[in-house]
A and B are shown apart, each in its own frame.
Chain A
Amino acid sequence: MHIAEGMLPGPYALAYWVGAGTFVAVGAKSLANKSQEIPMMKQLVGVMTAGIFLVSLLPIPVPMTGTCSHPGGTPLGAILLGPAITVLMSLVALLFQALFFSHGGLTTLGANTLTMGVFGGFIGWTLFWGLRRFKINLFWAGFMAGFIGDLAIYVGTSTQLALAIHGTHPFREVFQAILIVFIPTQWPIAVLEGIFTGLVLKYIADHRPDILIMLHILPASEGVKNVSLENTLI
């Protein structure tokens, strides 16, 4: 979701910027630390940022409602590279979208970064690792992270908007008015995002398990089973 330019009153826009800025700072520190440990971290972050830019701009038609919407991409980013770094990636992707496509805006960039990065990323990441603790396989853990993470982005946006613009109206009235427009279009997209997230994780596990081991998503013992010298290149 991209809250349009000027839609938030000044103090709220500033507060969301401060909130997002805090997470971005943590993300930048996390990236610096992980880059010391994992040599190809910056390359992966670059590619994942491009992925989030593309996925969160891709209008997918939902024929049942006659409208379009887009996935977030941040649950997958958070699983692969960490939730704090995902906030940083979201900021960069959303900045380019605001500058080149007028999709979102500069005053609302903080709010949009919070929903995409924090709501989508952190909730997806928490869910993924919670399910992995219960020995749920990569695909289904990824599916649930993508599905719920996607919906969380839109619940987050509805909350942010309702908090900022409800004025004399009850918060709940505005929150419901906004969320009710999202849900019919967004839930099929959330299912697609879940499938996409699960399939990407499964694909990487099947073809480049060394990457998942390097990122500590799979235990090193998986490498003995799956990784041959031929496809371990790094």
Chain B
Amino acid sequence: MKQPVWKLGFVILLIGVIIYLGVYGPEMPGADAQVNAIAEKYALEVGAGERPPLINTDKGDLLLFLFAIGGAVAGFWIGYVWRDLFGQTKSPNKLSKP
């Protein structure tokens, strides 16, 4: 299937930007982390401040396990309601052709 040139160009540009940022790009910290760092200065004065998570799921392979289970459940569920959400394919079924 022939794709328009601009689509291919966009994909190449996107991959190029990702490679550039990955290899030569700066650290790029999250703005949320920067804001939390500034807010913590004030929060400490009122007896608050960043704490470790109440429920820490980052223990060995626990996250991997949870994501595998979550991915499987989500995949089956999306498959189950696929036609409701995205409709039926318009292309005719090859088997039904004479």
Chain A contact residues, CB within 8 Å of chain B: 1-9, 40, 43-44, 46-47, 50, 59, 61, 63, 66-69, 98-100, 102-103, 105-107, 157, 161, 164-169, 174, 177-178, 181-182, 185-186, 208, 230-231, 233-234
Contacts and interface: CB of A to CB of B under 8 A. Distances in A.
28 contacts: A2-B32, A5-B51, A7-B39, A7-B48, A7-B49, A8-B43, A40-B85, A44-B85, A46-B77, A46-B81, A67-B28, A67-B29, A67-B31, A68-B28, A68-B30, A68-B31, A102-B53, A102-B56, A106-B54, A165-B39, A165-B43, A167-B46, A168-B45, A174-B42, A182-B31, A185-B31, A231-B90, A233-B83
Contacts of B36: 3-4, 7
A231 B88 CA distance: 8
Given A4-B50, A5-B53, A102 B58 contact: yes
Q: How large is the interface on B (under 10, 10 to 19, 20 to 34, 35 or more residues)?
A: 35 or more
B47 interface: yes
Given A67-B29, A67-B30, A68-B29, 12 more contacts: A5-B51, A7-B49, A67-B31, A68-B31, A99-B53, A105-B54, A106-B53, A107-B54, A161-B39, A165-B43, A165-B48, A167-B45
Given A40-B85, A47-B78, A66 B43 contact: no
Contacts of B60: none
B5 interface: no
Contacts of B74: 50
B38 A181 contact: yes
Contacts of B61: none
A69 B31 contact: yes
A132 B69 CA distance: 42
Contacts of A168: 45
A5 B53 CA distance: 6
Interface string B71-85: 000100110010111
